[in-house]
Every structure is written in structure tokens, then in C-alpha cells.
Amino acid sequence: MRLVLDTNVVASGLLWNGTPARLVDAAQTGEVELFTSRVLLAELTRILRRAKFALAIANSGASLEDLVLGYAALATLATPAPIPATVLNDPDDDHVLACASAGNAEFVVSGDRDLLSLKTFRSIRIVTPAEAIRFLTAV
């Protein structure tokens, strides 16, 4: 399966056990292929710098930089082309869709209501982490 994980899913997957972590683990074992972009990695860095993540990062035993670089090494870097404005409530979400399109992803995995409400983008399904795990285990 070819996936783009929204940055909220990546942050959760890197810092806590749970469904998003299972997706990161699946990438580490080669069960799924992840795609990201420079814009999404920069967004991940910004998100992880928030004070609310400081304790979780400290408890992870890794630095913020190690987490981001580790994820960057796990994912294939895509070079997205601009797309027409799609997520009007949150234009930053268009970067996720552009990355998925550039990586020929099958799924965008997100917890973001604006993305999830689209359901699909250019035949790419937009699903929650739990739905992605269900697809993975059904394969």
C-alpha cells in the first residue's frame, strides 16, 4: 500500500503507541510505502516544536531532529506539483493531497475533518488511521 500520512498522524505515530504507530511500524517492516514532501517535513518539524509535545519527545528518547530525520528516511520524498485549491477551510491540507498525487499514493491517512470529508482526491482514498489498518490487514 502506498500512503501519505498527514502530519497529525505522523506526530502521533512517532510519539505514542496506537493505531498511527502501527502504520509507522508497517512502513519499517516494508508492509506499506510512505510518501512525504519537503513541505510536509517542515510542517512536521513546526508541529513537534509545540510545547504540548515536549514531554512526549523527551520520553521517546530521541530529539525532535532525530524524529523528523528518522521519518524522512522512512518515507520516499515526493516532489509535488501545485494543485488547484481543494481544501478551502485549510489550504495547508492541499500540500498533503499534492504529495499523495505526486507519490501515486492509494491512501491519504488523516484525522483532519476537512480532509476526511473529501473522501477521495483524484481516486486517492482519504481515510482515518483505523481504516488504513483495516485495509492493510485485509490485504
11-38 average pLDDT score: 97
For 74-100, the pLDDT digits (tens) are: 999 999 988 888 987 888 899 999 999
- Comparing 55 with 138, the larger pLDDT belongs to 55
**3-state SS class at 89:** coil
Task: Please report the pLDDT score of residue 38 as a whole number.
Answer: 97
Distance CA 89, CA 80 (A): 21
Tell me the one-letter amino acid at 72: A
How would DSSP label each residue in 45-59? HHHHTSGGGHHHHHH
Task: Please report the pLDDT score of residue 48 as a whole number.
Answer: 97
pTM equals 0.94
CATH architecture classification, 2-138: 3-Layer(aba) Sandwich (3.40)
* Mean pLDDT over the full length of the chain: 95
Task: Please report the pLDDT score of residue 73 as a whole number.
Answer: 97
The alpha helices in the chain, defined as continuous H runs, are 7-15, 19-28, 38-48, 54-60, 64-74, 93-102, 113-116, 129-138
CB < 8 Å & 24+ apart, contacts of 125-130:
129/9, 129/12, 129/13, 129/18, 129/19, 129/20, 129/22, 129/23, 130/19
Judged against a pLDDT cut of 80, whether residue 8 lies above it is answered with yes
